[in-house]
Structure 1
Amino acid sequence: MSTTSEERPEPLYNHDIQSSETTELGSSSNVSQRTTLGDDKSSGRTPTPELKNEKDIPGLLVEEKQVDDEEVVPDDDPLLRDIPWQVRRVVSLQDDPNLPVFTFRYFFLTFLFIIPGAFLTQLNQYRTTFAPYSIFFVQIASNYIGDWMARTLPAWNVRLPFTKRSFNLNPGPFSPKEHVMVTISASSGATYNLAFAPISMSELYFGTRINPGVCLFFMLAVVFLGYGYAAIARQFLVNDPQYPWYQALCQTALFETQKHQRESPSPVSKRQTMVFFLVLVGVTIWQFLPEYVFPFLQSLAFLCWVAPHNETANFIGGGMGGMGFLNLSLDWSNISAFQDMGSLFLTPWWTQVIVFLGFVINCWILLPLSKWGGLNGGWNHHLMSNRIYTQNGTRYPLLDVMTSVPDLNITKYEEIGPLYVSAQLRWGMFFDFASFTSAMVWMAMFGYPALKSAVLKFRERVKSGRTTTINDQFPDQLNVLMRKYPQVPVSWYLGLVGFSFLVIMTTVAKTDLYIPWWTVIVAMGTGAIVVVPLGWLYAVSNFQLPIGTTNELLYGIMVNAIGGYKNPVGAFVYSTIAGDAWYRAQIMLQDQKIGHYMHLPPRAVFFSQVFGSIIGVPINYGVIRWVLDTKFDLIAGNKIDPTHQWTGQSLASALTVGAQYVLIGPKRLFAGTLYKGMPYGFLLGALTPPILFFLHRYFPRAKFNLWNSTIFYCVLGSYWGNLTAGPTSSIIGGFVVMYYAYRNYYEVWARYNYILAAAFDAGFNLNLLILFLALGAGKIVSMPHWWGNNEDTVERCFAMPKG
């Protein structure tokens, strides 16, 4: 079947892996054609099993010389019929159990990529914008370095000190299983730790520095708790072939591609390597301009150039505290970090449109209505801030309304008055509530077929008595291949949970974490409850629902109804326990699915995840200490950062939410005039998916199933607008890459899109690391102020209202 540019469907999933040559995309052993992994990132839709013909499958691209459907999709073969079509076209159905897994190269590369990744990712949590430490970068770079090590290291037998055991320094070619293990370890360790929020808040806002030992053990405990909870969902979501886990499938396709490149290098693969390193070096050099030398490039505010001292023009055109209208950015961190959209190279075009529409409504419609139309009830101070204020617009003296217990000092609170927040934060709360109920109802309506199928299959397995091992319960080829490897004992998961429980309860008993002991049990229980449904949602739709606000609201309800510490930090200790249980379980399940696709021993995958975390957590804490010691006044809001980067936006939001839900309490908060309508967001979120569902049923050609209300409300609920310089540049770039280039230059797009995605993110992170080591680790070297680095406003909007 030939596909023209006009007929070619746009990529539907967040990570559509495609190749222009059949030998260069990870095709399975029985299939070798070009494919698209594709469906909706977050709509909750699942592959429709009734589609038998490739022409009926959206997003599937095949060669003109196509074999019969029966050869490609042998539905009568019990080894293949349960495996989804998109998995069959990517995952190899053969395995070599003799390939090396644990080697010197694995351990060396694990340290090499986790150390900078854990550093950069944790550091970025204090910045307003950043480019993520891309797992695709790790996957691509480790492939080249591992292959180079296999060709250059001597094959020496090295004896382990104080033992009789030895290992071979170079046991042959760099194996695919080593490669996957390095990437999985980096996925677990080269990330940030959610516990940074309560640790930082305690010191920044309440002057209490938590003991380093308590911090380290608590950070490690919340990670291991999530890994332990993965045991609850793996029975349903990892081995069952009907759950594709599209992020895992995407990475698997890239692993298979790289395996073919190592074994049979082609001119295309050599060009891809050259493009990757050229772009990486170019981005690294370029980022010195917006990040250090010429920060004017961060926000090209054209209206400010026309009227630099006009307050109205500055507010409309400014990208740092303004609406960002007609504003462009040449800073990759601003472009790539446009909230939850993800990289413009990876996110489907239709998703980028939804996200940008949310930005337009947020900043170009609601903001001017608030400033000039009275949308915020007449309180027009700090329209785009996420901090708390008094009625006259001054910083709210939070410590003055707290007793030493701590609790709310009612007398002082009535004297100072209620908490006031910006207009943007208010509707952010409203839409955040809407996104939560929207996701749940959307999952129930659009995901009902897959949910029903899962329940029926589970009942069938129970009735048939096939319950010896997880792999034995499924007769597909992937599980058959995995039967040769011993499974991870349940006791290992229970050990992680037991360790976490003891550590957290011990620290809580010493009152270091500001929460009652019984709320820890509730947090662990709620985390366990959401692992399966939210894991199912992620497995079938590739959408990860943020649940932090709901956890914090629940904690506020509990401590105000039953009693307990009412320090705002407590809400984020609770949220870290409950939220990280889901977040880390999702990481572990996803990486276990990668191990399942790449036929890795499950115990090796388990080790790689725990090992990666043990390396990463101490680095995370070291970064927390460095930031709090060197950037304290900027992060706390005592000084204004002219670049608007070191602002600690997530921590400012955390303090606001904690003060609202814990210290003031939901009942008193929502009784006030300013917040009275906020709970109706839950109702809006619940009503929107049924409307779209029935519209989709009656008008299927209109594709209402792509009008994802959860994504839309998430954007409106999470975007605070402090930095609006990147969205316009991002949507322009997304149009060029994910719409125009994909439809008109598909062959080029297929070869280089994901290479470019990894190179851009890697170049930015390498630049940030160089800046830190060269100019910020020891003696801090500041860039002198000049025209392109104005001390008051780097975008030269001199009349921009502050805050």
Structure 2
Amino acid sequence: MTVYEDGDGETKSHSKIHVNDDEVDDNPIEQVRLTVPITDDPSEPTITFRTWVLGLLSCTTLAFINQFFGYRQNQLFVSSVSAQIVVLPLGKLMAAVLPTTQFSVPFTKWSFSFNPGPFSMKEHVLITIFANSGSNSVYAVNIITIVKAYYHRSIHVMAAFLLAHTTQMLGYGWAGLFRRYLVDSPYMWWPSNLVQVSLFRALHEKEKRPRGGRTKMQFFIIIFTSSFAYYIIPSFFFPSITALSLVCWIWKDSITAQQIGSGLKGLGIGSFAIDWSTIASFLGSPLAYPDVAVINMLIGFTVIFYIVTPIIYWTNTYDAKRFPLFSSHTFDHDGQTYNVSRVLDEKTFDMNLKEYSGYSKLYLSAYFAYGYGWGFATLTATISHVALFYGKEIWQLWKKTTGAMKNQLGDIHMRIMKRNYESVPEWWFQTILVLMVALAIFTCEGFGKQLQLPWWGVLLACAIALSFPLPIGVIAATTNTQPGLNIITELIIGYMYPGKPLANVAFKTYGYISMSQALMFLGDFKLGHYMKIPPKDMFFVQVIIKKTPFVTPIQAKTIYENSSCRDNLP
């Protein structure tokens, strides 16, 4: 750390590292220093005709594919990395064949070209951000699905449309409020973004092959081809390699052996998988996680999964043996699947307390019940961790934003962005936030109050969503893990407004998913920050993606077509 005085006599400080005996300003995080370049070319094109065509194409394609396959029992998810790879040859093809003629917009000074030159890395980054917006399913679509498929009811198409869009755009409003803390701060480094930065550089930077070695591009092509070929095995030829349970093979007729050895419905002792999609299905690629985070999760998983849950189950605490060892379903007192239709009023869609009292209390499996308990503990631990380890830095950043501290904080990447590009005004995000809150209230109060959530519930959900992006965002930006707010939102609205199933899920969507969307946007902002994308271009692209009807109608059509085959579900 170097401390110096500027011309005004103010004390400033910044981090420096040594590269070939020359001092260079850089980021304090070693992984960022090794991955992200500290150069920028402001003349490199960003939003072009190629960006819009390939970006919208990849966004709509991934939105349809992931929503369609999301209804499978073994869900298939196609990430934005797939689009990141596929659009590169398409972009270079467009750069080779499209005309370079400049076209003028009548009555303006604007002009554009279908082909402004070679396909640039910044175009590639924006297209990937397009794709990422489509690859992540709109959570509010699940509400439409459960209403249609499980409760056999209809919901007004505009109510469904506005529900999806308001939850998405609320997240964008929250992202703008916390951008300074979770994007500008050099200590918020978002590990998963470094994987994409490395891939961008491997795909675009020219590299001389070392003697006897391989370039990054050659290595990538080998791994990509091998992994693609290997994935055919579990997907088509040998699906059983997703869970090979030795204990179950030996004791085929033993229930206890199945509970101990099954890799799908048991403890998985003696079970293993050689399918990478199974290994990475829960947390994503472990290569993107810091080792400390992986070890922390491994210890917690071992304690809960292999110690606490077996003790609770085999000691029959709270009659745990009456229900499956692992299950996310709900059960009645006899251990049968809970018949929800018996306790719901068909006309008002409210809970019928008389029928509920005459039927059964609602029970969960031991693992699911204690999972909820650990989830509550996780939220309080998140707040404590952020306050103790990052409280001082957050306080400094807060004083900086309110004008109480004038010295410049940040790294070389933030200084490049401030110097070369104009920042997005805060009031742009604040305007979106106010409009979306008002539209969310209209959505819930209008359309015959089909969503059951009153106006005060929307405001309360927004208050919860406003309280957690900072502490949870710090965890996500430093460990690549994200605790969820779903359990706390379900609990709060369940106590305050009981007996309203749609109000519960709508409240959870506005309170939890809008915050989750905010963190996704912030992660994209950080990727743009690393790759030196103009902030206003990022803003324009993301707002267009979330406000245009390219995603939701496709998803809505898919929902109604797929859920129609579920009319016989209980």
Answering whether residue 561 of structure 2 is matched by residue 621 of structure 1, we say: no
Rounded to whole Å, the distance in 1 between the matches of 2:309 and 2:246 is 19
Query: Please, which runs of 5 or more residues in structure 1 have no aligned partner?
Result: 1-48, 55-65, 74-79, 561-565, 639-803
Judging changes above 3 Å, is the alpha-carbon distance between structure 1 residues 163 and 110 closer, same or farther for their aligned structure 2 residues?
A: farther
Answering whether residue 360 of structure 2 is matched by residue 417 of structure 1, we say: yes
Equivalent residue, structure 2, for 1:609: 542
Judging changes above 3 Å, is the alpha-carbon distance between structure 1 residues 343 and 630 closer, same or farther for their aligned structure 2 residues?
A: farther
Equivalent residue, structure 2, for 1:501: 437
Please give the per-residue CA displacement for 1:585-636, whole angstroms capped at 9, x wherever unaligned: 1122222222222222211101221233333333333333343134565xx5
Rounded to whole Å, the distance in 2 between the matches of 1:370 and 1:453 is 42
Equivalent residue, structure 2, for 1:111: 56
Q: Answer whether contact 2:489 2:508 (CA < 8 A) is retained.
A: yes
Equivalent residue, structure 2, for 1:272: 219
Tell me the CA shift for residue 238 of structure 1.
2.5
Rounded to whole Å, the distance in 1 between the matches of 2:56 and 2:17 is 46
Query: Out of 385, 391, 394, which is 1:454 matched to?
Result: 394
Tell me the CA shift for residue 222 of structure 1.
0.9
* Amino acid paired to 1:320: L
Q: Answer whether contact 1:370 1:383 (CA < 8 A) is retained.
A: no
Please give the per-residue CA displacement for 1:41-99, whole angstroms capped at 9, x wherever unaligned: xxxxxxxx999889xxxxxxxxxxx744xx345xxxxxx37865654554433332221
Matched residue count: 549
Judging changes above 3 Å, is the alpha-carbon distance between structure 1 residues 375 and 162 closer, same or farther for their aligned structure 2 residues?
A: farther
Equivalent residue, structure 2, for 1:542: 480
* Equivalences for residues 1-16 of structure 1 within 5 A: none
Rounded to whole Å, the distance in 2 between the matches of 1:189 and 1:537 is 24
Query: Out of 258, 266, 281, which is 1:322 matched to?
Result: 266
Q: Answer whether contact 1:191 1:616 (CA < 8 A) is retained.
A: no
**Bigger mean CA deviation after superposition, 215-224 or 503-512:** 503-512
**TM-score between both structures, scaled by the size of structure 2:** 0.85
* Equivalences for residues 625-704 of structure 1 within 5 A: 625-630=560-565, 636=569
Equivalent residue, structure 1, for 2:150: 205
Rounded to whole Å, the distance in 2 between the matches of 1:461 and 1:493 is 16
* Equivalences for residues 22-37 of structure 1 within 5 A: none
* Equivalences for residues 162-241 of structure 1 within 5 A: 167-241=112-186
Equivalent residue, structure 1, for 2:46: 101
Equivalent residue, structure 1, for 2:10: none
Tell me the CA shift for residue 484 of structure 1.
4.1
Q: Matched residue of 2:325: which SS?
A: coil
Rounded to whole Å, the distance in 1 between the matches of 2:276 and 2:554 is 25
Please give the per-residue CA displacement for 1:670-713, whole angstroms capped at 9, x wherever unaligned: xxxxxxxxxxxxxxxxxxxxxxxxxxxxxxxxxxxxxxxxxxxx
Q: Matched residue of 2:225: which SS?
A: helix
Judging changes above 3 Å, is the alpha-carbon distance between structure 1 residues 457 and 305 closer, same or farther for their aligned structure 2 residues?
A: closer
Larger RCO of the pair (alpha carbons < 8 Å, separation 6+): 1
Equivalent residue, structure 2, for 1:18: none
Rounded to whole Å, the distance in 1 between the matches of 2:183 and 2:228 is 38
* Amino acid paired to 1:192: S
Answering whether residue 510 of structure 2 is matched by residue 572 of structure 1, we say: no
Rounded to whole Å, the distance in 2 between the matches of 1:459 and 1:353 is 35
* Amino acid paired to 1:516: P
* Amino acid paired to 1:485: Y
* Amino acid paired to 2:353: I
Equivalent residue, structure 2, for 1:798: none
Rounded to whole Å, the distance in 2 between the matches of 1:477 and 1:316 is 51
* Amino acid paired to 1:488: V
Judging changes above 3 Å, is the alpha-carbon distance between structure 1 residues 212 and 420 closer, same or farther for their aligned structure 2 residues?
A: same
Rounded to whole Å, the distance in 2 between the matches of 1:307 and 1:475 is 59
Answering whether residue 380 of structure 2 is matched by residue 437 of structure 1, we say: yes
Q: Answer whether contact 1:190 1:612 (CA < 8 A) is retained.
A: no
Judging changes above 3 Å, is the alpha-carbon distance between structure 1 residues 93 and 546 closer, same or farther for their aligned structure 2 residues?
A: same
Judging changes above 3 Å, is the alpha-carbon distance between structure 1 residues 603 and 461 closer, same or farther for their aligned structure 2 residues?
A: closer
**TM-score between both structures, scaled by the size of structure 1:** 0.62
Equivalent residue, structure 2, for 1:286: 233
Rounded to whole Å, the distance in 1 between the matches of 2:47 and 2:61 is 22
* Amino acid paired to 1:196: V
RMSD between superposed Cα atoms in Å: 3.5
Rounded to whole Å, the distance in 2 between the matches of 1:465 and 1:335 is 47
Equivalent residue, structure 2, for 1:393: 335
**Bigger mean CA deviation after superposition, 164-173 or 107-116:** 164-173
Rounded to whole Å, the distance in 2 between the matches of 1:114 and 1:294 is 31
Runs of 4+ off more than 6 Å? 49-54, 160-166, 263-266, 472-475
**Bigger mean CA deviation after superposition, 227-236 or 120-129:** 120-129
Rounded to whole Å, the distance in 2 between the matches of 1:88 and 1:368 is 45
Q: Matched residue of 1:441: which SS?
A: helix
Answering whether residue 237 of structure 2 is matched by residue 304 of structure 1, we say: no
* Amino acid paired to 1:380: R
Equivalent residue, structure 2, for 1:492: 428
Q: Answer whether contact 1:371 1:380 (CA < 8 A) is retained.
A: no
Equivalent residue, structure 2, for 1:139: 84
Answering whether residue 529 of structure 2 is matched by residue 584 of structure 1, we say: no
* Equivalences for residues 716-795 of structure 1 within 5 A: none
